[in-house]
Amino acid sequence: MKALRWYGRKDLRYEEVSEPSPGPGEVKIKVNLAGICGTDLKEYSSGPCIINGDDAPVTIGHEFAGVVVETGKGATAFSPGDRVSGVGYWVCGECYYCKRHMYNVCSNLLFTGLHKNGCMAEYLVSPEYALYKLPDSVSDEAGSIVEPIAVAVHAVKIGKVALGDKVAIVGDGIIGLCTLLAVKAAGASEIHLVAKHKGRGERTLSMGVSTVTYLNDGDTIQKVKELSGGLGVDVAFECVGHPDTPQMTLDLIRNGGTAVIEGVFDKRGEVDFLSVMYNQKTMIGSPIYVDEASTAISLLADKTIDADTLITSVVPLADAVEEGFEKLLTNKEDNIKVLLKVAPDR
Ligand SMILES: [Zn+2]
Ligand SMILES: [Zn+2]
């Protein structure tokens, strides 16, 4: 089968590999569509970040929709022909955290497309527990963005966003935009986006954002505070992963508010802990998800979240580097979520 494999920084190769077969508790999926994630992009442009360089080559990708073709021993929840999406974790089921259902912080966590061969290939093998059936009301296009929406749904839970809350989101990447859609679904009364790219910021006007403030366009914190009534917002989400953005996120919340960190950082940053203490602020991390993919599918099924607002193009897997990865790196204004078409049209 054909697969897109990560060999090193700026070295993704579309090549022939042998088909995987499902082990115990695993399911083999014929992939239809695969999404390019910010993590994949980072591995391509400046990796290895999470990928262990010694494991290369590895088939990249963890966002997908496809059809079950084979089930391994003991994998009984799915049958050939089931349309599925899934999430990326491989968890041990044995550690302190797994025993408490905190699978997102499993001590032995591995990830599809980073440590295990991923979905930018004709076939993918996934543990059964990471898969979710797609109802007819969720297209494969929508199904292929279940994973980033699950990240956002988990963050909204961690941030305890309540009906009527004022919220700020720092970052206009796919996680920022998914978080925007998730906080809207959670009933936020105001959503203030801090964006970098005009093209993306303008696109969010159709996603229910209240205001968009651009970085490097004056005093961002002061502006958002004024736009949200003066005190700051109840909950703010950091969705960038730059050393400066956690402080900005903390400065955007009111006293007693919560800052949720979703970004993936490769450098340390500084935080003014005195302002955290004096103002009784909470800062909390939100890594991936536990079982929020089922909520993500429900939100897509009833169109509370419209996948079309995020998907900007669908390109063949064979053209992934030029038409996908490079375009996402060089033109962030017009490209948000690029899907790769893996299977020929049915
Ligand atoms: Zn992802
Ligand atoms: Zn575990």
Residue 291 placed within a domain: no
Residue 228 Cα to ligand 1 midpoint, Å, equals 30
Instruction: Looking at the structure, tell me whether residues 192 and 63 fall in a common domain.
Output: no
The fraction of the chain above a pLDDT of 70, given in percent, is 99
Instruction: Looking at the structure, tell me whether residues 204 and 229 fall in a common domain.
Output: yes
pLDDT band at 346 (very low <50, low <70, confident <90, very high): low
Instruction: Looking at the structure, tell me whether residues 117 and 184 fall in a common domain.
Output: no
Instruction: Looking at the structure, tell me whether residues 76 and 161 fall in a common domain.
Output: no
**Closest ligand (CA of 129):** 2
Residue 295 placed within a domain: no
Residue 112 placed within a domain: yes
Residue 73 Cα to ligand 2 midpoint, Å, equals 21
**Closest ligand (CA of 104):** 2
Answer whether 325's CB lies under 8 Å from 44's CB.
Answer: yes
Answer whether 215's CB lies under 8 Å from 252's CB.
Answer: no
Residue 121 Cα to ligand 2 midpoint, Å, equals 27
Instruction: Looking at the structure, tell me whether residues 257 and 227 fall in a common domain.
Output: yes
pTM here is 0.97
Question: Of 268, 285, 302, at which residue does a domain stop?
Answer: 285
Residue 90 Cα to ligand 2 midpoint, Å, equals 9
Residue 299 placed within a domain: no
Answer whether 150's CB lies under 8 Å from 166's CB.
Answer: no
Question: How many other CB atoms are found less than 10 A from the CB of residue 322?
Answer: 10
Domain holding 14, by residue range, is 2-145+310-341
Instruction: Looking at the structure, tell me whether residues 161 and 227 fall in a common domain.
Output: yes
Instruction: Looking at the structure, tell me whether residues 6 and 139 fall in a common domain.
Output: yes
Residue 292 placed within a domain: no
Count of structural domains within the chain? 2
What is the Cα–Cα distance from 78 to 263, expressed in whole angstroms?
33
pLDDT in tens, 113-155: 999 999 999 999 999 999 999 999 999 999 999 999 999 999 9
pLDDT at 341 over 70: yes
With the C-alpha atoms ordered 125, 129, 135, 139, is the resulting torsion angle positive or negative? negative
Residue 140 Cα to ligand 2 midpoint, Å, equals 30
Residue 98 Cα to ligand 2 midpoint, Å, equals 4
Q: Which pairing describes strands 58-59 and 26-35: parallel, antiparallel, or unpaired?
A: unpaired
Residue 305 placed within a domain: no
Whole-number Cα distances in Å, 7 to 44, 54, 115, 198? 9, 10, 13, 34
Instruction: Looking at the structure, tell me whether residues 156 and 192 fall in a common domain.
Output: yes
Residue 130 Cα to ligand 2 midpoint, Å, equals 14
pLDDT at 7 over 80: yes
**Closest ligand (CA of 288):** 1
pLDDT band at 343 (very low <50, low <70, confident <90, very high): confident
Instruction: Looking at the structure, tell me whether residues 14 and 140 fall in a common domain.
Output: yes
Instruction: Looking at the structure, tell me whether residues 185 and 272 fall in a common domain.
Output: yes
Residue 344 Cα to ligand 2 midpoint, Å, equals 37
- Report the CATH number that the domain containing residue 29 is assigned in CATH: 3.90.180.10
Is the bond into 24 cis (omega within 30 degrees of 0)?
no
Residue 346 placed within a domain: no
Residue 97 Cα to ligand 1 midpoint, Å, equals 22
Instruction: Looking at the structure, tell me whether residues 195 and 247 fall in a common domain.
Output: yes
pLDDT in tens, 17-71: 999 999 999 999 999 999 999 999 999 999 999 999 888 999 999 999 999 999 9
**Closest ligand (CA of 262):** 1
Question: Taking all residues of the chain, what is their mean pLDDT, rounded to a whole number?
Answer: 96
Residue 90 Cα to ligand 1 midpoint, Å, equals 14
| Angle, CA of 29, 337 and 36, to the nearest 5° | 45
pLDDT at 345 over 90: no
- Report the CATH number that the domain containing residue 205 is assigned in CATH: 3.40.50.720
Residue 99 Cα to ligand 2 midpoint, Å, equals 7
Instruction: Looking at the structure, tell me whether residues 213 and 267 fall in a common domain.
Output: yes
pLDDT in tens, 98-124: 999 999 999 999 999 999 999 999 999
**Closest ligand (CA of 103):** 2
Residue 303 placed within a domain: no
**Closest ligand (CA of 96):** 2
**Closest ligand (CA of 150):** 1
